Amino acid sequence: MISTSELDIAAKYIKEGKLVAFPTETVYGLGANALNPLAVAKIFELKERPSFDPLIVHIASIDDLYLLTENTDGNVIRLAEKFWPGPLTIVLPKSKLVPDIVTSGLNTVGIRMPDNDIALKLIRAANCPIAAPSANKFGQLSPVSAEHVKKQLSNVDYVLDGGNTSVGIESTIVSIEGNVCTLLRPGVITIADIENALPDTFIYSSEKPEKLIAPGLLKSHYSPVKPLYILDKQVSHFPESSGFIVHEKKDFIPKESRIVYTSQTFNHLEIAANLFSALHAMEDDEHIKQIFIEPVPEVGLGIAIMDRIKKAAYKYQQNN
């Protein structure tokens, strides 16, 4: 648990334009006052994040939407009431209050209310919306514990330690324009969930999200610093010092290998929650030279899990 004094310090730092890493239900965020462009600039600097990659703004009440956007029509409120607080980011036309640096010059802003008590208390105590990308160096593994944050961002001003995050992968991102809702990034809230919430709306999900106007949806992302390969079940010989990340008991993996289970029963929620921890564990293990990860079928939540796995493995594939 976080003490009141820790929260007070963190809120004071945000008010002073400093950076605070904090837990959300998805991954740890690197937060700054979203309305202070200089504070937000420090996020890009510390993360070494390219300036074309916009940040998500975190709020603690649906009322804060009216500060950040002029579009609060029926569909937006329907989604917010159904899924907030929760792992859904809604991209909307930005109000004048939102600095350009937050949105990388786009005229839209990504907004979400996280489902984490510490995050909500921090936003309320700081008394401002908090811009926060994941608290990792650009392109590397997302942090799902305070230790993961300190590993990559040792000189962040303050870290609120809320233990391991529960959802474990980043929020679903959708944009809404009139009667069209577009999926920009898959997450634990699936297309089917959105369709149920907006039955009269056209839901568009591209097979090739990198073609959409959504900077940051890159082919390579969330990568460990050592080679990661998607496990091919036909292959039975593996190089020495291989680590295996699997989602249920397996008998074809060499007995002496390091194995990390995300789940014992191929449970998708468990796989998502433990995916980044498993990758961090392999990254930190000096005996492991390369990592093999089991794929999951791309249906339902499996779409979001495979999105992260493919991006993490992308730069280590041959012929790309």
> Can you tell me which of 23, 54, 187, 302 binds ligand AMP, judged by CB under 6 A?
54
In Å, what is the CA distance from 265 to each residue of 146, 180, 234, 256? 27, 37, 21, 22
Q: Is 43 in the site for ligand AMP (CB under 6 A)?
A: no
Minimum distance, C-beta of residue 292 to ligand AMP, in the bound complex (Å): 25
Q: Does 20 bind ligand AMP (CB under 6 A)?
A: no
Distances from the Cα of 276 to the Cα of 4, 47, 73, 125, angstroms: 29, 18, 36, 29
Provide the 3-class DSSP secondary structure of residue 12: helix
Residue numbers 131-160 binding Mg ion by CB under 5 A = 134
Q: Does 40 bind ligand AMP (CB under 6 A)?
A: no
Is residue 245 a contact partner of residue 282, using CB atoms and an 8 Å limit?
A: yes
CB of 207 to ligand AMP, least distance (A): 17
Instruction: Compute the least distance from the CB of residue 235 to ligand AMP, in Å.
Output: 32
262 binds Mg ion, rule: CB under 5 A:
no
Give the residue, chosen from 24, 36, 108, 145, that forms a contact with ligand AMP under the rule CB under 6 A.
108
Q: 13 - beta bridge partners? A: none
Contact set for ligand AMP, span 182-211 (CB under 6 A): 184
Residue 217 or 273: which CB sits closer to ligand AMP? 217
Which residues between 117 and 136 bind Mg ion (CB under 5 A)? Answer: 134
C-alpha count within 13 angstroms, C-beta hemisphere, residue 36 = 20
Q: Is 129 in the site for ligand AMP (CB under 6 A)?
A: no
> Phi, psi (5° rounding) for residue 181?
-120, 125
Sheet with 56-58, strands from edge to edge, namely 158-159, 20-22, 29-33, 130-131, 56-58, 108-112, 88-93, 172-177, 180-185, 202-205
Distance separating alpha carbons of residues 118 and 252, to the nearest angstrom: 43
**Quick one: which of 35, 39, 40, 214 contacts ligand AMP (CB under 6 A)?**
214
Inter-residue contact 24 to 58 (CB < 8 Å): yes
Residues at the interface with Mg ion (CB under 5 A): 134
Residues forming the site for ligand AMP (CB under 6 A): 53-54, 56, 91, 103, 106, 108-110, 133-134, 170, 173, 184, 214, 216-217
